[in-house]
Structure formats: C-alpha cells, structure tokens
Amino acid sequence: MTPDVVFLLDVDNTLLDNDRVIAELRQHLEAQFGPARSAHYWSIFETLRRELGYADYLGALQRYRDEVERDGAGDHRLLMMSGFLVDYPFAERLYPRAFEVIARCERIGPTVILTDGDVVFQPRKLQRSGLWEAVQGRVLICVHKEQRLAAVERMFPARHYVMVDDKLRILAAMKAVWQQRLTTIFPRQGHYARDPAVLAGYPSADLAIEHIGELADIDLAALLEPRIGAARANEESG
C-alpha cells in the first residue's frame, strides 16, 4: 500500500552540526600537522568538491598522498587524520532533539535519510551517529540528490513527500520537479542557511524553522493533511 507521505531528511547541518565537525577537523590538522599541510589539504578538498559535487574528505586525503608521493616532498603524517575522521564521535554532534524529530515523523509516515556524499565516510557518519538505525536503514546516499528523485519514488513511493534540508537550492530544485507533491522545510542552521546571497537567490521554503528540534513540536499531520487530501483527489480523478 502506498503511504500518504514519506519524510526525506538531509544530514549535514540538518540533523547533524557538520560546521562544528569541520571546525574541529581544521583545528586538529593545524595543531597536529601545521598550517601549511592543513592549507594544502583543504585546497585539495575544495578542488575535489567542485569536481564531484559533494564533500569527499577521504578522497581529498588520497589525492594529498598522491601529490606527496609524486613530488617526493613533505611527510605522510597527515594520513593519520583518517583515524580522526573514522573514529569521530558523530553522535555527540547531532542537533538537540534530532532523534525526537525522526520519531515524530515516523508516526505519520516512513522517514528516509536522503543525503549527498561518498560511499565510505558518509555511511560511517550515519552509523556512528545512530541515524542509520533511527531510520531502520532507509538511507539513500547520492551525488546531487535533487537529480535522483525518480530513484526516490521507485524505492519509497508516496502520494506526498516532505524534504527537510538546510540548502534552499536543493529544496527549490526538488520543488521544481515534484511541485505540489512536495512540502519543503528549511531549518536555518549552518553556514549555507545563513548566507544572505544564498538566501536571496532562491524562493522561500514552504516552512522555515530556526532549529530542527522545532519539528518535534509542530503539528505535522495538520500541516500536511490538505496537501495529502489534494494528492488523493488527484489520484482518484486520474
């Protein structure tokens, strides 16, 4: 039976304070390996993010090693940062009430983690944070998730979808495809959500909140009922 609604939740700066993770990683790199090696790593990281369309921390580390070996310069101590990333306490960086929000959504419809990322570090982050278990393994890790909506529909069919994401660009792109079948929720968390230029460049979400924990207090059923009713009516008429 097709559910009335499926909730799609982003991870970085939506359920988990990824800005804090990056800040601590920067501090770790500079303290352990010095400003020059840290700057070199982040330069590679940004180049790789532009190429891939998502953050690939371990991929940047691999490319750093390749450059060091090719140039025959520097040492390999920076490779030790892999342990910092793999063993990072992600559960301590979840935003307050993140699990409560997931449980609240689950009472209305299936909840799915929909996130961009690589195939090694991002799953590790979800597992160590407890998010993977919280959504019972309903996880999609993509490249440009806003372009994978057909896969979402195939794997998690629903009359209506709710997308919760800190990036208005993603919400706008998904809304352009699903239109009235999608309710967009924008938590104003993280650097993207506070960037005036980014905010000015995209239409507003259906609902904006200051913190993800607010979703635990909102009457989601009442919010969604008119939209779900319209979806049922369209289904019956079609």
Count of residues for the chain? 238
* Whole-number pLDDT of residue 174: 97
* Whole-number pLDDT of residue 123: 93
DSSP 8-state class, residue 13? T
Of 86, 115, 130, the domain-final residue: 86
pLDDT in tens, the chain (238 residues): 888 999 999 999 999 999 999 999 999 989 888 898 889 899 999 999 999 888 898 889 888 888 877 765 555 666 677 888 888 999 999 999 999 999 999 999 999 999 998 888 899 999 999 999 999 999 999 989 999 999 999 999 999 999 999 999 999 999 999 999 999 999 999 888 888 888 888 999 999 999 999 999 999 988 898 888 877 777 777 6
* Whole-number pLDDT of residue 191: 87
The domain that holds 166 is classified in CATH as 3.40.50.1000
Q: Indicate if 210 and 160 belong to the same structural domain.
A: yes
* Whole-number pLDDT of residue 204: 93
Q: Indicate if 60 and 153 belong to the same structural domain.
A: no
Q: 102 in helix, strand or coil?
A: helix
Rounded CA-CA distance 215/100 in Å is 9
Q: Indicate if 77 and 115 belong to the same structural domain.
A: no
Q: How far does Cα 209 stand from its chain's mean position?
A: 16
Q: Indicate if 69 and 107 belong to the same structural domain.
A: no
Of 31, 57, 86, the domain-final residue: 86
Q: Indicate if 11 and 79 belong to the same structural domain.
A: no
* Whole-number pLDDT of residue 222: 87
Q: Indicate if 136 and 219 belong to the same structural domain.
A: yes
DSSP string, 23-48: HHHHHHHHHHH-HHHHHHHHHHHHHH
Structural domain boundaries, residue 178: 5-17+94-237
